Amino acid sequence: MAYKIPLFNLNFDDREAQAAYATIKSGWISTGPKNAELEQMFIDMWGVKYAVSMSNCTDALHVCCMVCGFGPGDEVICPSLTFAASCNCIRYVGATPVFADIVGADHINIDPKDIERKITSKTKGIVVVHMAGFPSQMDEIMAIARKYNLKVVEDACHGPLSEYKGKKLGTIGDCASFSFFSNKNISTGEGGMFISNNEEMAAKARLIRSHGMSTMSYQRATGHATEYDITCLGYNFRMDDIRASIAIEQLKKLKGDLETRMTVRKLYLDRLTKIDGVVVPFADNTEFVSNYILPVVLLNSTKERRNKIRDFIHKAGIQTSVHYPAVHKFSIYKDLGAVLPKTDYVTDNEITLPMYAALTKEQISFICDTFEAAVKEIK
C-alpha cells in the first residue's frame, strides 16, 4: 500500500543532483578529491583527528574490529537490540559476540551493569550502539573499559552530531562508524565513515580500505606517487566520489535538519507521554541528538497486541516499523544461548513511528491520535 505518511523521507533536492553531475563531469568518479573533502568535513564538524570514508557502515564496523585487534578466541560484548551488522562485524574477525541486555524500556541502549557481568578473561572489547541517535551511558562504559583494558567501538550510525555531555557520539570510544544508507540522517544510498583520534588505528584503517595499498589511484594520477606496495591484507571498502559529493551536500544540511527534528520530537513527546500504557525511550534526554527514529514501547503488552496495533495504524495510512528484531534470536546466533529478558520484551513491544524534519504539526497530531486510538481499542 502507498502510505499517506511514510516512515521517513529522503532529504534530497537539486543540490545533491548537481553535486553528483559535477563530479561525473569532472572525469574522476572513484575515490579521490570529494572523499578527501568529505573526510575533512567530518574532522572539522566532529572535532576528531582522523576520518576515513568507507563503502558502507558495515565495512566501517569491520575495520573498527580489525584495528582494535579483535580476533579468534576473543569475546566482544555487544547489544542484541540493534541491526545485525553491529554483531556480525565481531564474527568477521573471528571473535565471538557476547550479548548484553538493555537498560530498560525507557533507555533501550546497552546496560553497563550487564556489560560488566558478562566480562571474562577472553573479553577484549565492547561494541556500543547509540539507538535512535541517543547516547548510551558512556561514562560508565568507558570506566568499565579502562578497568578491564578493553577497546570500545561506537556504532554511531543513528547518531551523526548527537552529543553526550558536550562530546559528539563517535569521539568517546577508540573508534567509530557512521552510516550513509538511504534512510539515515546522512544519505547517499550506500556509504559510511570511520573516525578515530588514534593515529595508528586511522592509518591502518586507510590501508585496509584499499587492498593494503601504500598509495591510491588518485595519488598516482595526480603525480604524488608512481608506484605502490601492499603492506597488509586489505579489502575493497572504498567509497566513490559520486557518493562522497552527495554526502558533502547532506552534511551541509545536517545541523538544520536535526534542529527541526528536535522540534518534531518535542511535539511528539507532548502527546505520547500522556498516553497510558506507553513509554517513550529517552524521553528525559535534553541533549542535542539526531532523532534518527521515534521509538515507542507498549507496557504490559504482547507481540500479538503490538502487531495488531501496527495493523490499525497502517490502515490509517501511516507507516511504522520495528527497531529491531533481537539479533540473539536469529538462527545464526541462537547457539550462543543469550538470555536477555529486557531486550526480548522491547523487541516484541516496540513500534517505530514516522520521524523526519518535514513532518507537519497536523501530521504529528494525526499520527498521535491514531496511535492513541489503537492503544485504547486493542487490549
pTM for the whole structure:
0.95
| SS3 of residue 360 by DSSP | coil
For residue 148, whether the previous peptide bond is cis, meaning omega lies within 30 degrees of 0, is no
With cell 543469550, the residue in question is 338
What per-residue confidence (pLDDT) applies to 217?
58
Query: What dihedral angle (degrees, nearest 10) is formed by the CA atoms of 51, 56, 61, 62?
Result: -110
- What are 178's three cell numbers? 557512521
What per-residue confidence (pLDDT) applies to 316?
98
What per-residue confidence (pLDDT) applies to 218?
56
| Crossing angle of helices 57-67 and 85-92, rounded to 10° | 40
Q: Where in the chain is the domain with CATH 3.90.1150.10?
A: 255-377
What per-residue confidence (pLDDT) applies to 226?
67
Tell me which of 2.60.40.2550, 3.40.640.10, 1.10.357.10, 3.30.1130.10 is the CATH number of domain 14-250. 3.40.640.10
What per-residue confidence (pLDDT) applies to 229?
87
* Superfamily of domain covering 255-377: Aspartate Aminotransferase, domain 1 (3.90.1150.10)
What per-residue confidence (pLDDT) applies to 224?
64
Q: Which of 217, 215, 216, 210 is nearest to 233 (CA)?
A: 210
Q: Where in the chain is the domain with CATH 3.40.640.10?
A: 14-250
Which residues, including other chains, have CB under 8 Å from residue 146's CB and lie 6 or more apart? none
Rounded Cα distance between 73 and 287, Å, is 39
**DSSP symbol at 287:** S
Radius of gyration from C-alpha coordinates of the chain: 21
What per-residue confidence (pLDDT) applies to 10?
94
What per-residue confidence (pLDDT) applies to 222?
65
Please write down the long-range contacts of 359-368, taking CB distance under 8 Å and 24 or more positions apart. 359/5, 359/264, 361/267, 363/5, 364/264, 364/267, 364/268, 364/271, 365/271, 366/5, 366/316, 366/318, 367/5, 367/313, 367/318, 368/268, 368/271, 368/272, 368/275
What per-residue confidence (pLDDT) applies to 220?
53
User: One digit per residue, pLDDT tens: the chain, 379 residues?
Assistant: 689 999 999 999 999 999 999 999 999 999 999 999 999 999 999 999 999 999 999 999 999 999 999 999 999 999 999 999 999 999 999 999 999 999 999 999 999 999 999 999 999 999 999 999 999 999 999 999 999 999 999 999 999 999 999 999 999 999 999 999 999 999 999 999 999 999 999 999 999 999 988 776 556 556 666 678 898 899 999 999 999 999 999 999 999 999 999 999 999 999 999 999 999 999 999 999 999 999 999 999 999 999 999 999 999 999 999 999 999 999 999 999 999 999 999 999 999 999 999 999 999 999 999 999 999 999 9
β-pair type (294-298, 278-279): antiparallel
Q: Phi then psi for 55, rounded to 5 degrees?
A: -65, -30
